[in-house]
Amino acid sequence: MASFTSLLADVRACTICKDDLPLGPRPVVQLHPQAKILIAGQAPGSKVHASGIPFDDPSGKRLREWLGVPRETFYDPKQIAILPMGFCFPGTGTSGDLPPRPECEPAWREQLLAKLRHIDVTLVLGQYAQAYHFGDSKQTLTDLVKDWRSHWPELVPLPHPSPRNNRWLRNNPWFEKELVPALQKRVATALA
């Protein structure tokens, strides 16, 4: 198996789906073998593609608030690994970004996860990451997140922190009253 450094270099140089990406390839991941928390997300948006920094957008601000961590901790790869289902911006559809490109998962995901041996908790954001980490559950995203205690403390299903989910958050006030405080304690414990 490749060393972590060479594997990460290969991921960052990946061009597997270059012809299908509207802005071209720019894999955005944050990884280190010592990371204690894994954030499994969807795919970078156009702002993240431009900056090359994961969650460098309003979604990231909300996610850091949910986790109760400052920006410095969030962007410390020895603390928090960020591994989306798709590593590059997939393009925009009629109601938001397109789904993550399917090529990343078989090409890279298992190899990268195998290098993350110190993960204490995995935060699973959105339906595509949840399908991968929870299997072909028949639960809706809402039901899976409501059932968060069933997977606690190793896996935590979360809605995507995008501003597009403001209505979901308003319709599910239990999320910020119950899950977010528990999540903040869990994250603090993992990082201690």
Report the CATH number at residue 125.
Answer: 3.40.470.10
Total of domains in the chain: 1
CB 156 within 8 A of CB 148: yes
> What does the DSSP 8-state code read for residue 57?
S
Of 148, 160, 9, 140, residue with least CA distance to 84: 160
pLDDT of the residue at 89: 96
Token digits of residue 92:
């925009």
The residues facing 30 across adjacent strands are: 82
- How many angstroms separate the Cα of 184 from the Cα of each of 30, 66, 84, 177? 21, 7, 21, 12
Pairing assessment for the beta strands 121-125 and 96-97 based on DSSP bridges: unpaired
Of 87, 72, 167, residue with least CA distance to 128: 87
The residues facing 123 across adjacent strands are: 39, 156
Q: In the chain, which stretches have pLDDT less than 50?
A: none
Main-chain dihedrals φ then ψ at residue 67, nearest 5 degrees: -80, -20
pLDDT of the residue at 111: 95
Domain housing 87: 4-191
